[in-house]
Amino acid sequence: MERLQKYMARCGAASRRKSEELISAGRVTVNGQTVSDMGYKVNEGDEVKLDGKPLLPESRKVYIALNKPVGYVSTVKDERGRKTLLDLVDVPERIYPIGRLDYDTSGLILLTNDGEIYNKVIHPREEKNKVYIAMIQGILTGKEIEAFENGLEIEGYVTAPAEIKTRRILGRNAEVEITIHEGRNRQIRKMCEKIGHPVITLKRISIGSIEIGGLEAGKWRFLTEKEVGQLK
């Protein structure tokens, strides 16, 4: 026996968190009955369906690194008709992104059909560092760096300790390297605005030990066995 949302993640339907949303929305049935209880457990032989389509465990787990360009949404489907990650990655398995990058942010994003690995990447307690390169308006002062790294109050919460360092100065702007392990919506942009240095461009270059390297914008690759092991 296993919890329904865990089974759905193992089938590659979605992450556990997203699976819970699908269950709450009444889109999941077990043996013909709609299930809304998050503690519901499925047994071997139960027929689980999402939107009327059977869910079966994926026979092959895939793990993909993509260099997302600006102008793509970090989903597999968009109601507004914008370009999505699946316009860039074509595999037979049903995959979904681990976390997100903003529409106007580029760089490394991971995709998989392995729901078990989702929290290993995005949950703050796992403390997987995410490194970004940003072009910001203005030049950082020591006081601003200290405030950024010690935590900033944004929309009712205080950000976790982070790192920011100047890589080079270009006229009145600066290229900086930022390291965080949280993943709140538009967090880096909000943090930079808080200290008076709005972001001009933003690119993620690594997640934990996985680096974007020479992967061109819009291109993807399978993770190596070593990289998958490091995520797990």
Count how many domains the chain has: 3
108 and 218 belong to one structural domain: yes
102 catalytic per annotation: yes
46 and 69 belong to one structural domain: no
Q: Which of 46, 78, 90, 102 is catalytic?
A: 102
- Residue 177 in any domain: the answer is yes
Residue 42: domain span: 2-54
50 and 87 belong to one structural domain: no
40 and 76 belong to one structural domain: no
Which CATH number does the domain housing residue 188 bear? 3.30.70.1560
146 and 187 belong to one structural domain: yes
180 and 199 belong to one structural domain: yes
Question: Which 3-state string (H, E, C) describes the chain?
Answer: CEEHHHHHHHCCCCCHHHHHHHHHCCCEEECCEECCCCCCEECCCCCEEECCEECCCCCCCCEEEEEECCCCECCCCCCCCCCEHHHCCCCCCCCEEECCCCCCCEEEEEEECCHHHHHHHHCHHHCCCEEEEEEEECCCCHHHHHHHHHCCEECCEECCCCEEEEEEEECCEEEEEEEECCCCCCHHHHHHHHCCCCEEEEEEEEECCEECCCCCCCCEEECCHHHHHHHC
- Residue 231 in any domain: the answer is no
Tens-binned pLDDT, residue by residue, of the chain (232 aa): 899 998 998 888 888 888 999 999 999 999 999 999 999 999 988 999 999 989 888 778 899 999 999 999 998 888 888 999 999 998 888 888 988 899 999 999 999 988 777 767 766 566 689 999 999 999 999 999 999 999 999 989 999 999 999 999 999 999 999 999 887 889 999 999 999 999 999 999 999 999 999 999 999 999 999 999 888 7
199 and 219 belong to one structural domain: no
